[in-house]
Chains A and B, each alone.
Chain A
Amino acid sequence: MEKEELTPHVSEISRVLGNKVDEEQIWKELDTYLNLYRVSLETAKRSVVRKLGGDPNALTKGVQKPLAQLGPAEQSVDILAKVLSANRKEIELNGETKTIIFGLLADESATVPYTAWDADRFQFNRGDVVMVRNAYTKEWNGQPQLNLGTRATIESMDKDAVKLPEGMEAPSYSGGPTTCKVADLQEGMNSVSITVKVLFVDSRKLETPTGPKTVFSGMAADETGKVQFSAWHDFNLKKDDTVIIKGAYVKSWRGIPQLNFGERAEVGRAKVPLQGDDLAKPRRRSVPDIERVGGAVDALVAGVIVDIKKGSGLIFRCPQCNRLVQKGLCRLHGKVEGQPDLRIKAVLDDGLGALTAVLNKDMTERLVGINLEEALAQARDAMNPEVVREKVEERLLAKPVEMRGNVTSDEYGLMMIVTDAEIKVPEVRNEAAALLAEMEGAQ
């Protein structure tokens, strides 16, 4: 390698060594490794740094990425970001107490939660701008989370190195209240202000480590959707009240965002109540709209059925644990006499995204027009339970349907437990004529 080509690497090694070593010496060492011993550039650089008393992990190895481009499983990544929050916490790890730092990092593109697994090695303070090298990411709640482990290093940078867009400086985690609608609620939000109508509320007693506690939980809604809530303090909530809640936070259950508020929250009554009984009706949502927040309560999704998955149609369940019985065997209870059941796992695609829709026996019977007895008879005649699945495909594939239900999410994507479904092939002429008139009018 020529000298010019090596210059950036020499400067990098010099940086890692804190500019304390003469560059000429670094150049000589590097040249020896590369041109005499002919090792790879990466090995050479690591060896030189180690030999001259530095930490080879501080060398740029990963690629530097903007936060928005972080994947869920980065092995080694460098980022330049501003520390929005830095919280210290003591944890017990393998019997030893250890302090970790966690919080939020931000750059122009996004904010990302981080955990630095050693408070002694990493100096994080709110407002600092840092260059983090050799960090890794893990997925948590569908979002990448940055981890600083033993290989990671940080370097303080000039405060101007990261310029954040307006508004990002005060994230929902620590900043002022965010006013939002039900459909915008997302796991991790804090200080939420929201106006909702209480659809119903129940109270129940819980045993907590600090003694018995009463929690008031139920369902609330605005014009964008419904949400389950838990009030950890008695705000005297009543059905049909329109309330303005300030200082609520959001936790998710199986991806479904849920609204929580405790005694530090403020709950007021709205002067103008949210109108109408129809707040109790399900709202039409698109798949990506639900995907963005992780789930939804009682949503309506309209799309086309593009696949009927295996395990749909006539199935047999273990009488003891309700698990699927395959070839006469339950995974837990071995050879059992399976109980027949009907269900469908369909893929509903709205052209913008797809979710798995699960239909139980009643929904299957209604939508396909076949009952369990008929299904069993057909399977017996054909000596094959698969004929029922074929019948389901015949009836449902490529059909436009509207499905209603709760949508949860896990690592396999969104899943709707369907409570109502209807095949709807809309009449197209009026809409086509209206669209045509609109387009011709616009020209």
Chain B
Amino acid sequence: MRAAPFDYSVYDDGLLAAAVLAVDPAAIGGVVLRASAGPRRDRWLADLRQFVAAGTPVLRLPLHVGDGRLFGGLDLPASLRLGKPVVERGILAHASGGILLLAMAERLSPALAARLCAVLDFGEVALERDGFAMRMPTRFGVVALDEGASEEEYPPAALLDRLAIHLDLAGFEPSSRTDRHDLSAHVSVARTLLPAVVASDSLTEAFCGAAMAFGIASLRPTLLGLRVAKIAAALAGRTEVAETDAALAGRLVLAPRATMVPTDAEADSQEAQPEQSAAQQGLDRPHTENAVDVPDAPLDDRIIAAIAAAIPAGLLGLLSSPDPAVSKAQTSGRAGALHKSRLRGRPAGVRRGEPQGGARLNVVETLRAAAPYQSLRRREAAVSGRHGATFVQVRREDFHVTRFKQRGETTTIFVVDASGSSALNRLAEAKGAVELLLADCYIRRDSVALIAFRNRSAELLLPPTRSLVRAKRGLAGLPGGGGTPLASAIEAAVALAESVRRKGNTPTIVLLTDGRANIARDGEPGRPRAEADALLAARQARAAQLRILFIDTSPRPQELAHRLAGAMGATYLALPFADAAGVSAVVRQIASRSP
């Protein structure tokens, strides 16, 4: 039975995203839901729960999940009861057919993301743990709850690439249509209709062209977008993808990933801008008009226009500007593992020992150690008249504990004065030092960050990274010149250092400046206030007890620079001709000292 044609465009994109995901969660990978925790996010999740089929598992995956719970492993009570190893399925296998909610996805480690991605890609859990080797098929969709507050805070890029829909709930007014009943009914119809839905060659080509026009390099979003388009068609009761379906997929999948805007589409949407901002960044405007905007244009141009209309006006300007500011889609993701204590972090092997002082017992290895002696111990117990009720007799000497990586990483934060005339030279040398240190990093597993300050503010140019590739891209084309907002720079460095520390890593700040502050904290010029502010910030830095290296780059050592270094408890070094090799050598020396 064919459902009556259904016009889904009366609903807002947020609600449609939930409906699309509910039709076939695994097919589209999932949704990145960028929103702070609150009623709006809860409402979206509640909608999603209403749309999914009854009995669909919706599981929450905590950030700190260990591999054992993630993949599965030995089921201890059952194994002890039965006297043979019994496998326990992990969360990923349990989520099969349903949805996995990733809390605080912006803090997800690349290691956990890579594990998730492997399972998403191949639809099965490859369990090679605790003596088990098995494959467990599992297909699920992920909802990454991204609470990232700043441009730098994003879930790992590998995961972002695999989740079709990127939805930002900020500045997004839910549609006036509150009746979800209709949509809910069509979700279940769509589920049965979906296998029959096809996309014509011309539409596929147009969609590929659109993805390329928006500078989306990875091919995965294109593939995922086509699946979203098919689901949209199924929602509408169609068996062939129509232009409106492709436009919806473009808005949900391609628009948020755009790294550039095709020139003519830009002109189109600039005209449409006033109307858009009035409609709260255009997410709840009636969508029917998107696709029919330019009826005579070729199909791909119409899709491109529809997508461009979905990109918020501010971002559009940013993307089309010639400045190769690295797009957020490419730099997202956080490098660096979490090594908090002996209880946390990634396991680094197992050793014999007792579970004391917080060390965690490794049950499988303990059992393995105990196993060979079981018959002996049973006999022994029988002789001594102690008939133990336990099937397996484990003794103290069998205990094995899991070792975790304990040494935290070092993160070197370069804070570079990019003001004034000598800026270019200093920046080039700082850049060189960053790269030299990074080249050394893969041995020590350390990371590097870079803050540059000029004009009125300090800017984080390179979030902590271990990747030379990313660093090179982040450092390309550093601007120089302008005033010296030293106070803001110190504050930014301390804030970053503290966030590094919260992750269990050890920060070292390297400040390259001549110390001649002339911009106050509030961005106003004026030397006396700027210097007072800088001194205040320096004292705050000292209170934070950070390891700081102050490199004075002025031709003649400055008295103020010296005072600043003293105030922040920094190691002061006059290096008028600071060159890359020199700086990196000094930093390496300082960083290797224990804090």
**Are A and B bound to each other?**
no
Task: Name A's B-contacting residues (CB within 8 A).
Answer: none
Binding site for A on B (CB under 8 A): none
